[in-house]
Amino acid sequence: MFVTPQRFDFAGPLTLRSGAQLRDYSLAVETYGTLNAARSNAVLICHALNASHHVAGAYADDKENLGWWDNMVGPGKPVDTNRFFVIGVNNLGSCFGSTGPASLNPTTGKPYGADFPVVTVEDWVDAQAQLADVLGIQRFAAVMGGSLGGMQALAWSTRYPDRIAHCIVIASTPKLSAQNIAFNDVARQAIMTDPDFHGGHYYEHGIVPKRGLRVARMIGHITYLSDDDMAEKFGRTLRADNLKFGFDAEFQIESYLRYQGDKFSEYFDANTYLLITKALDYFDPASQHGGNLAAALAKTKSKFFVVSFTTDWRFAPERSREIVRALLEHKRAVTYAEIDAPHGHDAFLLEDPRYHAEIRAYFNRIATEVRA
């Protein structure tokens, strides 16, 4: 399936949760499948930290470059693009085509850099709603995401309750814990104290704070994998036959993590990393309701499908159960699946038969509700 990214320009301004405004902005978008005549079969896929609008398929001129959720979205796949019109959108502040810190600041004519405003999950959802307007979609059959993407789906359910029929929240949480925030802040400190960061204005210096970004990614990566999975994949396996008693990578896990860090620091933007971790930190819909999540979810009208994975220690199943319990207080229709999977937080991206069967069954049910 070959796809073509599109770009949508918005005149703005978009007023952000912080009070700052984005004067004008663009969103990079991909769509898969066909919008039906009733415009009732649209599914919005929200991305997590390092992903983009490129959810599924490949490019004609870059056939190896598969979308980040290509195992989930496509013809005949759990989210079946023969039946649904699926939309992937790159979030504001990202580095894959939507307006972000590397874009030109219309006020200065130079890249925003550190002057790009802090964006939140709610801001992203507002921009996605603008996109839906342009695409003529009044109501999504479903909004779906994993991790930070799940937060966006949840924000859709409270912010635009009339515009979402099904809210699908996978491997997510109603808010970060202190430990989650701590890991994010260490990653940010690694980036911000890299001398090549130049206070966020490194573009002008023709350099990138790769060292900090590399360490940030290594930290993140540890939290995406389960302890058991790491033990099984790497354990204490050495790279060579004997111990070298030096500081080159001695164990396989070291070379794996360093490689992941190196690769990431080649393509990802450091300012985007900072912004996206902040969006994670700030998400806390209950905070405007005295910490009462059920109160925050009182205005929702959609049905919900919540999925968690047993070995996810970043956003453990208990965090998903909090969402489920809060929804049940309002007698919302909630389906909950706790998948016994060994791959930690990353499980939401991987092909697992039970997980995919659950998603497929749920979308089969959505399909029966969609007016043609």
Determine contact, residues 142/157, Cβ cutoff 8 Å: no
Burial of 272 from C-beta contacts in 10 A (0-12 / 13-18 / 19+): buried
Shortest Cβ 245–a second copy spacing (Å): 4
| Residue 63 burial class via C-beta count within 10 angstroms: exposed 0-12, middle 13-18, buried 19 and up | exposed
Q: What residues contact 278, with CB distance under 8 A and at least 6 apart?
A: 118, 184, 188
Omega prior to 78 cis, within 30 of 0 = no
Binding segment for a second copy (CB under 8 A), chosen from 71-79, 84-92, 148-156, 238-246, is 238-246
Instruction: Answer yes or no whether residue 181 interacts with a second copy by CB under 8 A.
Output: yes
194 contacts a second copy (rule: CB under 8 A): yes
Residue 321 contacts a second copy per CB under 8 A: no
Assigned token pair, 334: 């909630």
Among 139, 161, 185, 203, binds a second copy (CB under 8 A): 185
Q: Is there binding between residue 274 and a second copy (CB under 8 A)?
A: yes
Distance CA 190, CA 169 (A): 30
| Residue placing its CB nearer to a second copy in the complex, 28 or 326 | 326
Q: Based on the shown chain and the rule CB under 8 A, indicate whether residue 287 belongs to the binding site for a second copy.
A: yes
Q: Which is nearer to a second copy, 197 or 363 (CB)?
A: 197
Interface residue with a second copy, options 11, 37, 76, 236 (CB under 8 A) = 236
Residues 87-126 interacting with a second copy (rule: CB under 8 A): 117-118, 120
Q: Are strands 73-74 and 14-15 parallel, antiparallel or unpaired?
A: unpaired
Q: Rounded to an integer, what is the distance from CA 315 to the centroid of its chain?
A: 13
Binding residue count for a second copy, defined by CB under 8 A: 56
Is position 17 an interface residue for a second copy (rule: CB under 8 A)? yes
What is the CA angle 248-251-253, rounded to 5?
110
**Both tokens assigned to 331:** 């007698």
Pick the binder of a second copy from 234, 292, 321, 322 (CB under 8 A): 234
Instruction: Determine, following the binding rule CB under 8 A, whether residue 328 of this chain makes contact with a second copy.
Output: no
Q: Least distance (Å) from a second copy to the CB of residue 328?
A: 23
DSSP tag of 62: B
**The one segment of 101-109, 160-168, 247-255, 296-304 that binds a second copy by CB under 8 A:** 247-255
Contact flag: residue 188 with a second copy (CB under 8 A): yes
DSSP letters of 346-366?
A: GGGGS--HHHHHHHHHHHHHH
76 or 246: CB nearest a second copy: 246
d(CA 367, CA 372): 10
Our finding on whether 258 is near a second copy (CB under 8 A) is yes
Q: Which of 281, 294, 310, 360 binds a second copy (CB under 8 A)?
A: 281
Query: Any contact of residue 295 with a second copy (CB under 8 A)?
Result: no
The whole-angstrom separation of Cα 199 and Cα 73 is 39
Q: How far is the CB of 185 from a second copy (least distance, A)?
A: 4
Is residue 364 involved in binding a second copy (CB under 8 A)?
Answer: no
Distance CA 150, CA 167 (A): 9
Span interacting with a second copy, options 32-40, 130-138, 184-192, 351-359, rule CB under 8 A: 184-192
Q: Can you read off the two tokens belonging to residue 319? A: 């965090």
Among 134, 186, 207, 333, binds a second copy (CB under 8 A): 186
Check binding of 251 to a second copy (CB under 8 A).
yes
Residue located via tokens 């802090």: 118
Q: Does 178 contact a second copy by CB under 8 A?
A: yes
* Structure tokens, 234: 């790497």
- The residue among 274 and 334 lying less far from a second copy, judged by its C-beta, is 274
User: Which residues have a catalytic role annotated?
Assistant: 147, 312, 345
31, 85 contact by CB (below 8 A): yes
Cα 299 to Cα 158: distance, rounded to the nearest angstrom:
6
Spatial separation of the C-alpha atoms in residues 95 and 272, rounded to whole Å: 6
Query: Which residues make up the interface to a second copy (CB under 8 A)?
Result: 17-20, 117-118, 120, 175-179, 181-183, 185-186, 188-190, 192-195, 211, 214-215, 218-219, 222, 225, 227, 230-231, 233-236, 243, 245-247, 249-251, 253-254, 257-258, 261, 274, 278, 281-282, 284, 287
